[in-house]
């Protein structure tokens, strides 16, 4: 190996400059239809929902406005005397679900743009992570609201702490108005989430998230139409609680609150294991063991009865797919725990490596300024000049 001595009057070559590198996430662009949806999340929903609210006010005197009014007004018609004051189900529910999708679209966009992004900036969140902070902050708000409302319904129901009551006194065809709004609003939210994952930068677990959202929508629709909303509510509440802490931990990570992030992650792991791998087991067991025991196996849609082998297998299959996804995500959680044990901070392994982006926008601007101004300090080391001192030896 030869040793080359540099000429003392020669200009030392500058160290390599850090360049921005493109990644699949940075080059990603949504489908044109999804881009159209992304760019019209405020004005279009606001106009349509405003017209729907006006139609709801005028519909008692102008019945022709009812179809538009149902975007914000749940279908109520119930012919059974025993269902007095309760809400039935019908085709008009589709309009209310669409109205819910518009509402969640508007609420999400306004909350992220005018509350969460400014909050993230004040808390010191990096510019490249502001969007992620807003997205996860919105989920903290939604899951907290959804879990609280769902839990209040579950605690007041006969099946609280006794899963056999999922199936007793079936069919549960008529619903209280506030419960119907809650259930259809959940469906609207998950339909809207199917749109959201196509306007956000994709994560590593895009396929799992897509399957999860489709299965969740199928479970909500299936349980609503077949009058198994008691079971459906229990599943929703069980799934919502863990995501409050997961999204909170991500937000703390984005603003570099490491201690709070790690503590929240520890709480999340405990809640996840209890709700999604302990409580959820008993929910699946109830479908498999208690449903055949307490339900009359009879298919009579005119009576609100949708009990058959096919329906039973349908729900078991969907719940089983969810269980597989939960096991996959548990494996990812265990990977995070292993990183924490080794001394790293708790970070979501499902997301893109936002914290490892080579150069963000601020770094690029600083880099360009350095190049324009000439030889300056780069990465903590000053460039050598011809008069800076003795020549350096280099190994070849």
The model's pLDDT over 194-208, given as tens digits with 9 standing for 90+, comes to 999 998 778 888 899
pLDDT more than 70, % of the chain: 78
- Enclosing H/E stretch for 328: helix 309-341
- Tokens coding 134: 């807003």
Q: What is the mean pLDDT of the chain?
A: 83
Q: pLDDT confidence of 227, banded at 50, 70, 90?
A: very high
Identify which of 313, 302, 303 has the alpha carbon closest to the alpha carbon of residue 170: 303
Q: Give the model's pLDDT for residue 348.
A: 56
Q: Give the model's pLDDT for residue 29.
A: 85
> How far apart are the C-alpha atoms of 245 and 251, rounded to whole Å?
10
Conformation bin of residue 320: beta by default, left when phi > 0, alpha when psi is -120 to 50: alpha
Inform me whether the pLDDT recorded for 217 exceeds 90: yes
Inform me whether the pLDDT recorded for 332 exceeds 80: yes
Q: What is the mean pLDDT of residues 272-285?
A: 96
Inform me whether the pLDDT recorded for 390 exceeds 60: no
Inform me whether the pLDDT recorded for 21 exceeds 50: no
Q: 159-169: buried (b, 16+ CB within 10 Å) or exposed (e) per residue?
A: beeebebbbee
Inform me whether the pLDDT recorded for 376 exceeds 70: no
Q: 210-239: buried (b, 16+ CB within 10 Å) or exposed (e) per residue?
A: eebbebbbbbbebbbebbbbbbbbbbbbbb
- Summarised one tens digit per residue, pLDDT across range 83-132 is 567 898 989 999 999 999 999 999 999 999 999 999 999 999 999 999 99
Identify which of 110, 13, 99 has the alpha carbon closest to the alpha carbon of residue 56: 99
Q: Give the model's pLDDT for residue 143.
A: 98
Residue 2's CB: how many other CB atoms inside 10 A? Answer: 6
Please, are residues 144 and 244 in contact by the beta-carbon 8 Å criterion? yes
């Amino acid at each position: 190996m030869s040793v080359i001595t540099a000429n003392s009057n020669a200009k030392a070559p500058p160290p390599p400059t850090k360049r921005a590198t493109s990644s699949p996430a940075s080059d990603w662009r949504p489908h044109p239809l999804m881009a159209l949806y992304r760019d019209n999340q405020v004005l279009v929903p606001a106009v349509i929902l405003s017209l729907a609210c006006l139609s709801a006010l005028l519909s008692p005197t102008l019945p022709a406005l009812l179809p538009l009014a149902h975007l914000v007004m749940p279908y109520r018609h119930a012919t059974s005397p025993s269902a007095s004051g309760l809400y039935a189900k019908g085709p008009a529910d589709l309009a209310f679900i669409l109205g819910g999708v518009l509402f969640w679209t508007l609420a999400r966009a306004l909350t992220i743009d005018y509350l969460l992004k400014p909050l993230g900036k004040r808390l010191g969140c990096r510019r490249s992570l502001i969007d992620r902070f807003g997205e996860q902050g919105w989920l903290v708000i939604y899951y907290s609201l959804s879990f609280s409302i769902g839990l209040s319904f579950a605690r007041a129901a006969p099946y609280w702490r006794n899963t056999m009551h999922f199936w007793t006194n079936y069919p549960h065809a008529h619903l209280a108005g506030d419960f119907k709004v809650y259930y259809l609003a959940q469906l609207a939210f998950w339909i809207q989430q199917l749109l959201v994952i196509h306007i956000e930068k994709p994560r590593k677990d895009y396929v799992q998230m897509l399957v999860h959202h489709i299965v969740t929508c199928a479970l909500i629709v299936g349980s609503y139409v077949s009058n198994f909303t008691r079971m459906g509510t229990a599943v929703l509440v069980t799934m919502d609680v863990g995501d409050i802490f997961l999204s909170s931990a991500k937000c703390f990570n984005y603003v570099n609150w490491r201690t709070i992030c790690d503590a929240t992650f520890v709480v999340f792991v405990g809640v996840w294991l209890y709700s999604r791998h302990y409580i959820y087991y008993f929910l699946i067991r109830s479908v498999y063991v208690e449903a055949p025991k307490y339900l009359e196996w009879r298919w009579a849609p005119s009576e609100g009865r949708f009990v058959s082998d096919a329906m039973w297998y349908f729900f078991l299959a969907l719940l089983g797919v969810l269980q597989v996804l939960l096991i996959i995500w548990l494996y990812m959680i265990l990977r995070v725990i292993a990183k924490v044990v080794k001394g790293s901070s708790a970070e979501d392994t499902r997301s893109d490596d936002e914290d490892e982006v080579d150069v963000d926008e601020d770094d690029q601007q600083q880099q360009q300024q350095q190049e324009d101004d000439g030889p300056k300090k780069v990465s903590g080391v000053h460039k050598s000049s011809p008069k800076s001192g003795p020549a350096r030896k280099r190994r070849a």
